[in-house]
Each structure stands twice: as C-alpha cells, then as structure tokens.
Amino acid sequence: MNTTPALLALEDGSLFHGIAVGVQGLSVGEVVFNTAMTGYQEILTDPSYSGQLVTLTYPHIGNTGVNPEDEESPAPQAAGLVVRDVPPRISSWRATESLPEYLQRHGVVAIAGVDTRRLTRLLREKGAQNGCILAGEVDADRALAAARGFAGLKGMDLASQATTAQPYEWEEGTWALGQGHRAAPESRPYHVVAYDFGTKRNMLRLLVDRGCRVTVVPARTPAAEVMELKPDGVLLSNGPGDPEPCDYAIQAIRELLEARVPVFGICLGHQLLGLATGARSVKMKFGHHGANHPVQDLDSGRVMISSQNHGFALDEGTLPEHVRPTFRSLFDGTLQGIALTDRPALSFQGHPEASPGPGDVLSQFDRFIDMMRARGA
C-alpha cells in the first residue's frame, strides 16, 4: 500500500491532504472538475486538459485499469489528477496496466484521498481555481506559492504547443467490440484537412469511418498551404487554453471561409470559428466538464445529452448577423453551436465525438459530410 503523502493547494488558500498515486513532484494548473462516471483514460489523454489539474467527481477511479486502445492522444496530457479513491484491484479483460502504474510510467503527478465533493463545491462557488499538486515532501507554503504563481489560462495560447510538429495521415477507424479499431473503408471520397490544436483521436476515427482521407496539419499551417492540399473540408479540432490569442488560426479560418471551404469546428475549433466571424469569447466561471450535459438543438427542438469539456465559450450576444446559434446548453443557457448562413461552416462547443460520453450528437459529423457532398466532393 502506497502511503507517499501528497497535497493539493488552491490559490484561495485551501489545502487538501492525500496520498500520491502518480510520480513524486510538483505540478501546477487550473483545477477543474469533471463529472463523467467513466472514461478517466480518455479524459487524461485529451489534450484539451493541458494546463489543468483534473478532479474527477466519481469516487472510484482506476477500477478498469488502462489499455492501449483508449488513448485519445499518445500520452496523458492533464497537468495532474485529483481523485477520491483508487481501488487496489482492477477488473477488466481489456486492462494491460493499473492507473497508478500508467501515471508513474508517464510522469504524471496525482493525488488520491481528497474529499472531491468538498473540492467540487468550492470550485462551483468560487469558480475554477489555480492550484498545485505536490507529491512526496509536502510543504504547504511551497505548494501555495506555486498555485498562486500559475498565470492562469486566460490569454494563454496552448494550442500551438499541443499541436503536432509535422503533418501526418490518420488511417484508423473507431473501436468496436471484437474488432478493435476498424480499418479505413475501401472507398474514401472526401479529403479532410484537420487542424490539430490538440486533437482527440476519436474525431479523426469518426471521419475515417465516414469515408474521409484525413491529413492532420500543425496549428500554425497557413490557409494557403491547406488549400494546396485540395481539401473537401477542414476540421478545426479541440484544444487547450484560451482561443483568443490564437490569431494565426483565426486568420487562417477567415481565409478558408472566404474560399468557401466546408469547415467543421469542435470545442476550441468552434470557439475559433466564432472568433473568425467577429464574435467574442469569454472565460466561464467553472466551465463544463462532464458526459451528461443536456443541449438543445435549436432547429429541431430535440434535447441531446452531450460530452463537454470547456472553460471558455462564445458570447451569443456578440454573434454577427450571418452566424446563427444552433445549440444551447440546458444547464446554463450558454451557446453550444453555431452555423454560418452564408458559408458552409458549422461548429459544436461540446464533444460530438464523445470518448468518453454519449453519441447523441454524432450527427454533427454527418452534417459535415453532407456539406462536403453538397460542394460536389
């Protein structure tokens, strides 16, 4: 039984003592809570969590271990993990290692034994806090100073750090029981160029399933270079940090819209599409992180349950005339989707690709395909 002490300190002075379940060391970031009951591996490997210390409200984390197929990127990306309890036994035929082994192998700082309900209530009341996990030699003053020394995500461009260094082709489809990751279909009529701002793999897999050849490009690729690849459509991926300082992406998106290339934005990509049209983004109090967020499709009136992970949002009041709202959160009324009325472009603030979470909003991928087909692809 591991009893290495660990400490979580928040900028407001709160201290949470627990035990280390990852490596010893110190890690700082914005502390956010995620309410998903499953999918801790997908959450940890979602690059949107770079710069964040993720608290999982579900109390038992690690029960099903970790496996190589559920990775949303090559390694954990969250700055740290905060949980209530890591059961000593794992149970899943898919598991190849335990969560603590995995965290240690990847050098992640994590703390267990925290009253995550108290922590979550605090974050809901005060808003997301900058924090620090210190594992090993615990020293409250050092942890507090580090928490307060973190600059905060507002104004931080992390997409250009989370992105790939080189372009690459993505070939793998979604995972199915008994099949593993599906092979790409024989016929792939659409060529999608995916801007990688810190992409989750499942977006790329869903496009492959739907007959797309997917070329992933770095975040700073100019629109002219993307156009040279002759895309039938462009995906703007999810990603960490604040969308506002990503001026290189906003400029590229403007040029792609001008060229009438079909564009599909997800999460950070949605925010960047909005900024490219002239809308404004805001930092939310504690954001949306979970797998059961109801959103309403404003066209059909239907309510769908979505996976969400964002701390910034587009301000609906700033949408220009040629941009219409398409989805709204039924938790807090915030904007969850937009479509341009004069260009083939749409976006969703939550995660239609799920992983983890429900697939109610998968239809957004089909609408992207429809846009490309309508353009003669």
Catalytic residues: 267, 351, 353
The answer to whether 113 contacts ligand GLN (rule: CB under 6 A) is: no
* Helix ranges restricted to H, the chain: 40-44, 99-105, 116-126, 140-149, 159-162, 201-209, 223-228, 247-258, 268-277, 363-374
Q: Is 312 annotated as a binding residue?
A: yes
The answer to whether 357 contacts ligand GLN (rule: CB under 6 A) is: no
Closer residue to ligand GLN (CB): 152 or 211? 152
The answer to whether 350 contacts ligand GLN (rule: CB under 6 A) is: no
What is the Cα–Cα distance from 193 to 221, expressed in whole angstroms? 11
Contact positions with ligand GLN (CB under 6 A) in 271-310: 309-310
The answer to whether 265 contacts ligand GLN (rule: CB under 6 A) is: no
* Binding map of ligand GLN across residues 24-53, x = CB under 6 A, - = no contact: ------------------------x-----
What is the Cα–Cα distance from 107 to 100, expressed in whole angstroms? 10
Q: Is 301 annotated as a binding residue?
A: no
Closer residue to ligand GLN (CB): 113 or 240? 240
**The two three-digit tokens of residue 167, written as one number:** 């372009």
What end-to-end distance do the CA atoms of the chain give, in Å?
58
* Helix ranges restricted to H, 55-164: 99-105, 116-126, 140-149, 159-162
CB atoms within 10 A of CB 374: 10
The answer to whether 80 contacts ligand GLN (rule: CB under 6 A) is: no
Closer residue to ligand GLN (CB): 190 or 286? 286
Q: Which stretch binds ligand GLN (CB under 6 A): 70-78, 82-90, 226-234, 239-247?
A: 239-247
Q: Which stretch binds ligand GLN (CB under 6 A): 107-115, 129-137, 236-244, 362-370?
A: 236-244
Q: Is 239 annotated as a binding residue?
A: yes
What is the Cα–Cα distance from 262 to 377, expressed in whole angstroms? 10
Closest CA to 280 of 322, 249, 250, 319: 319
Contact positions with ligand GLN (CB under 6 A) in 308-327: 309-312
Closer residue to ligand GLN (CB): 198 or 344? 198
Closest CA to 246 of 257, 233, 237: 237
Q: Is 349 annotated as a binding residue?
A: no
Q: Is 308 annotated as a binding residue?
A: no
